[in-house]
Amino acid sequence: MDIKSALDLPFETPHMVIDRDLVNANISRMQELANQNDKRLRPHSKTHKIPELSRLQIDSGAVGVCVQKVSEAEVMFKGGIENLLLSNEVIGEKLRRCSVLISEGANLTVVVDNVFSAKQFSSLCEYAGIDGRVMIDVNIGMNRCGVDPSEFSSLLKHILKMPNILFEGIMAYDGHVSFQELKKRNKEVNREEETLSRIVHELEKNRLRDMIVSVGGTPTAEIWAHSELVNELQPGTYVYYDMHCVELGLCALDDVAIGVVATATSEKRGARVVLDAGYKSVSLDQGVHPTVIDENENEYSVLSMSEEHTVLKVSKSASYLGKKFIMLPYHSCTTTDLWDNTYAISRTRRPRQVIIEGRGKRE
């Protein structure tokens, strides 16, 4: 983050800021990783929720984007993004909205992990006179959504018989693999790869070749990039990175492209400084506070956070009132969703406000 430029913005605090130069560099680096390993890149748009940045990712070589909510898909499609993977199970009315998007021209694929929702989607597509693309979500260890590998064959057979359904492949997301030690992440991905190999073999038994095998969040994308089993990566956080990524060794502090600018509005000299931003401005993710830095790149210890305040520890008796700080989030995705807009800074362009069009889209 260009800290000086961020802190020099002449706007009321708190406000979110992104460094467009770093965003561009982060996008290019991940796309290069995918290209070098002959993998499709389909980033999660939930990190930034901005169609403009999704277009930038696609212009750089991404095949499309992932969305987690139907409302996010609607925002992205309205913003000119046609190739969408709804990488989260939905049911009922939300599937009807998916069929509407397809009827309007969206190249939308839906993931399923059960016969019930697949049948619903099939019926809706048949009624609308369209074909619906489907991928099966496979649980490879996260134990959240996804069909268990032992039940994959049965689900596949049902889906292949459903009218107006085009089977596209499988998704195997491993968001739980965020160990700080690279060795542990490698070990877990190797275990997941063994599970996935049996699923791919099942596809081949059914003469389903050239299917999409989509995997990997930002912490495991580089590991999965070297796997011959998979052909698509779906990281998201990398567009901004965050302090968790720094902790994992995925990037340097200087690569983090998101922050929240706050001002010191209260103090007890020599003891504490209070900022005008709390966890309604920067997410308190996994109980980890943001990293707080001043214009001289000095880092401050966070004593506490509440809704509208962050309390910093200081030892100097000088006054900090009116001084600005940048708060670098531990998790960028959950921080983005707190804001209606952000300021984009760049060394080659004037700062400008960007609307976070997918903010708050939960349904």
pTM above 0.85, yes or no: yes
Q: Among candidates 353, 356, 351, which has minimal Cα distance to 21?
A: 351
DSSP 233-254: E---GGGT--HHHHHHTSS-GG
Count CA within 13 A, CB hemisphere, residue 224: 33
The angle formed by the CA atoms of residues 179, 183 and 188, to the nearest 5 degrees, is: 65
In what order do the strands lie in the sheet containing 40-41?
40-41, 232-233, 212-215, 165-172, 132-137, 107-112, 83-86, 65-67
Structure token pair of residue 315:
């030892």
Asked if residue 324 lies in contact with residue 263, where contact means CB atoms within 8 angstroms, the answer is yes
What pLDDT is recorded for position 342?
98
Residue 143, phi then psi, degrees to nearest 5: 55, 45
- Dihedral-angle region of residue 233 (phi above 0 means left; psi in -120 to 50 means alpha; beta otherwise): beta
Structure token pair of residue 231:
């052909």
Label residue 355 exposed, middle or buried (CB < 10 Å: 0-12, 13-18, 19+).
Answer: middle
Q: Among candidates 283, 172, 170, which has minimal Cα distance to 217?
A: 172
Q: Rounded CA gap, 256 and 246, in Å?
A: 8
Q: Rounded CA gap, 269 and 290, in Å?
A: 22
What pLDDT is recorded for position 30?
98
CATH superfamily of 20-238: Alanine racemase (3.20.20.10)
Q: Rounded CA gap, 95 and 82, in Å?
A: 17
What pLDDT is recorded for position 285?
87
CATH superfamily of 3-16+251-355: D-serine dehydratase-like domain (2.40.37.20)
Q: Rounded CA gap, 216 and 234, in Å?
A: 6
Asked if residue 211 lies in contact with residue 168, where contact means CB atoms within 8 angstroms, the answer is yes
Residues in the chain: 363
- Ordered by start, the domain boundaries in the chain are 3-16+251-355, 20-238
For helices 70-78 and 93-103, angle between their N-to-C axes, nearest 10 degrees: 20
Q: What is the dihedral of CA 348, 354, 357, 362, to 10 degrees?
A: 100
Digits of tens for pLDDT over the chain (363 positions)? Answer: 999 999 999 999 999 999 999 999 999 999 999 999 999 999 999 999 999 999 999 999 999 999 999 999 999 999 999 999 999 999 999 999 999 999 999 999 999 999 999 999 999 999 999 999 999 999 999 899 999 999 999 999 999 999 999 999 999 999 899 899 999 999 999 999 999 999 999 999 999 989 999 999 999 999 999 999 999 999 999 999 999 999 999 999 999 999 999 999 999 999 999 999 999 999 998 899 999 999 999 999 999 999 999 999 998 899 999 999 999 999 999 999 999 999 999 999 999 999 999 999 999
Contacts of residue 298, defined as CB under 8 A and 6 or more positions apart, other chains included, come to: none
Residue reference for tokens 């010191």: 264
Question: E strands along 176-298, which residues?
Answer: 212-215, 232-233, 258-268, 272-275, 291-293
Count CA within 13 A, CB hemisphere, residue 238: 30
Please state whether the peptide bond connecting residue 14 to the residue before it is cis, i.e. omega within 30 degrees of 0.
Answer: yes
